[in-house]
Structures are given as C-alpha cells and as structure tokens.
C-alpha cells in the first residue's frame, strides 16, 4: 500500500518526539524541576505582604546585646586585658632594643611612654626617618611651606635665613637623598609634660651647589657622601597634635 505524505510526516514527528524524550533527557528535566522547586522554597516569592526594609532594620536593632550578629559595631570595644599586656611586653622589648644598654635613655623612654599611652619607640623612629628625609630635601629645594610645618619657629627661622641667603647669591642645589644606613637614639627625657628625644642620623646623600652661572662651588653631583646630624624632636604629651617637631639641629663631623 503506497505511503502518503501525511503518513511520512506523522512518522517523522513521532521519531523526533521519541528521540527527544529518551531516558537521559527525562532525567535532566526531572533534576531541573527539583532544583527550581528547591530555589522557590528557599528564596520565596513576593506576595505583597512583606515587611518594609525599615521594619527589618528595626528588628535587628532591637536584638538583645548578647545575641550573635555579624554587624561590626561602629564604636570599637575596649581592648581586652591580654591586648594591654601584649602591648606592654612589646614596649619593654622596644625600649631595651633602642636604648642599647643605656640606662638613662631607657628610663627616659619609659617616662615618655608613661605620659603618652600612644608612644612606641619603633614607630617614633620610623616617623623620625621620614621627617629627616623630608626636611633635608625641603631645605635643598627651598621648600619653606614644608619646613614650616615640621620645624619649631626658632629652627625654621635659621633654615629660612640660609635659604634666603642662598637665593640672593643665585646659588642652586642639586640634591638626592640616598638612604639612612644608621639611626640611633642618643637622649630621651621628659620634663613635666614636655617630651624630647635626640637622634643621631647617618645619612647618604648626593649634593652639588652651583652658582648663578652653573659652576660647581660645593659638593659633587656624581658622588654619594655620608653626613652625620644630631637632631632633637619634642612635643607636649598633653597636646592633641600627635606630631613631633624639630627643635634643635647639630651637624657632626
């Protein structure tokens, strides 16, 4: 019996359906349905009766203080006793390290730390290193603004006078700060509320001073030299300003 076009089309569609609904395909469809149902149960759906965000925020703020929460409080909690003990041990170790066996320096550092709870010798020395580089570089460049922020008035006046004299003579300085191979505390004192620490700096620099015509009159632009300075920094332990200022300088030979 001849096959009609309609019969052929029906058989093709039947074969396509049977191929589509084979066992692996049915398993995948079943897994997808289960996953969708699980997601629906976890995430839920919007019904129009949800509480506004303000209600949910208020509920969280009304939790008991001892209830676990992942929100970090804006105001930090007081330091635990063991943190204070750890800081004290660290302070004692740093005083021993940086006093280098000098009892007077050690006593001075202890007194300063006792009057200023934020003082740590290592952090102070790191700040002094940065200040030294900034000051010597600012002086070479004639940067009065930077100097004024870091120096006490008497010291600033001396630096400013030297800069003004240099400028009047038409002299310029080519300056490069190379590094600080040596730094040490040589004195530490507390007079009432005024703390003062003196530091010896062994610095490596490249410096060349030229006159108005560009002729080299001092230094060497191609040579690294070592200079030694002894500077004193001071601050009031009752001041809200945490910065120390340079109050005295002495260049050592």
Quote the Cα angle for 180-182-188, to 5°. Answer: 115
Q: Is 170 left (phi over 0), alpha (psi -120 to 50) or beta?
A: left
Write out pLDDT tens, residues 25-70. Answer: 555 656 555 545 554 554 444 444 444 444 443 444 444 444 443 3
3-state DSSP call for residue 211? coil
End-to-end C-alpha distance for the chain, whole angstroms: 122
Q: Which residue has the tokens 């007077």?
A: 104
When pLDDT is averaged across residues 205-226 and rounded to a whole number, the result is 95
pLDDT number for residue 242: 87
- What six digits make up the tokens of 124? 């102070």
* CA atoms of 220 and 208, how far apart (whole Å): 5
- Mean pLDDT of all residues in the chain? 80
* 156: exposed, middle or buried (Cβ count in 10 Å: 0-12, 13-18, 19+): middle
The distance of Cα 191 from the centroid of its chain, to the nearest Å, equals: 31
| 148 vs 30, higher pLDDT | 148
Position 190 pLDDT exceeds 60: yes
Task: Please report the beta strands in 54-128, taking only residues with DSSP state E, as ranges in sequence order.
Answer: none
Residues of the chain with CATH 3.10.450.240: 81-252
Q: For residue 182, which of 203, 207, 197, 198 has the smallest C-alpha distance?
A: 203
Give Cα 26 to chain centroid, integer Å: 59
Phi and psi, residue 170, nearest 5°:
75, 20
Looking at the DSSP bridge assignments, the partners of residue 82 are: none
Say whether pTM exceeds 0.85.
Answer: no
- Predicted confidence (pLDDT) per residue in 152-175, tens digit: 999 999 999 999 999 999 999 999
Q: Which of 204, 177, 202, 199 is nearest to 188 (CA)?
A: 199
Q: CA-to-CA distance for 95 and 124, rounded, in angstroms?
A: 12
DSSP state of 73: P
CATH class of 81-252: alpha beta
Distance from C-alpha of 199 to C-alpha of 183, rounded to nearest angstrom: 7
How far is it, in rounded angstroms, from Cα 244 to Cα 112?
13
Calculate what percentage of the chain has a pLDDT beyond 90. Answer: 62
Quick check: 222 pLDDT over 50?
A: yes
Q: Which two tokens stand for residue 3?
A: 């096959």
Helix (H, G, I), strand (E, B) or coil at 126: helix
95-132 burial, b if ≥16 CB within 10 A, otherwise e?
Answer: beebbeebeebbebbbbbbebbeebbbeebbeebbebb
């Amino acid at each position: 019996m001849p096959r009609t076009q309609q019969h052929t089309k029906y058989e093709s569609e039947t074969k396509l359906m049977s191929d589509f609904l084979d066992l692996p395909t049915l398993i995948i469809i079943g897994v997808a349905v289960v996953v969708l149902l699980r997601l629906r149960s976890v995430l839920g759906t919007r019904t129009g009766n949800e509480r506004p965000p303000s209600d949910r925020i208020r509920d969280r703020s009304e939790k008991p203080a001892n209830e676990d929460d992942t929100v970090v409080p804006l105001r930090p909690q007081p330091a635990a006793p063991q943190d204070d003990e750890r800081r004290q041990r660290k302070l004692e170790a740093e005083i021993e390290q940086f006093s280098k066996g000098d009892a007077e320096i050690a006593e001075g550092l202890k007194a300063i730390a006792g009057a200023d709870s934020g003082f740590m010798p290592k952090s102070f020395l790191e700040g002094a290193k940065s200040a030294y580089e900034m000051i010597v570089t600012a002086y070479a460049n004639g940067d009065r603004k930077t100097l004024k922020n870091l120096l006490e008035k008497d010291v600033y006046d001396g630096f400013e006078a030297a800069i003004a004299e240099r400028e009047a003579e038409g002299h310029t300085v080519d300056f490069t700060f190379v590094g600080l191979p040596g730094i040490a505390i040589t004195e530490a004192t507390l007079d009432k509320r005024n703390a003062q620490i003196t530091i010896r700096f062994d610095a490596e620099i490249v410096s060349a001073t030229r006159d108005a015509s560009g002729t080299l009159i001092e230094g060497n632009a191609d040579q690294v030299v070592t200079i030694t300075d002894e500077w004193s920094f001071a601050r009031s332990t009752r001041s809200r300003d945490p910065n120390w200022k340079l109050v005295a300088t002495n260049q050592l030979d």
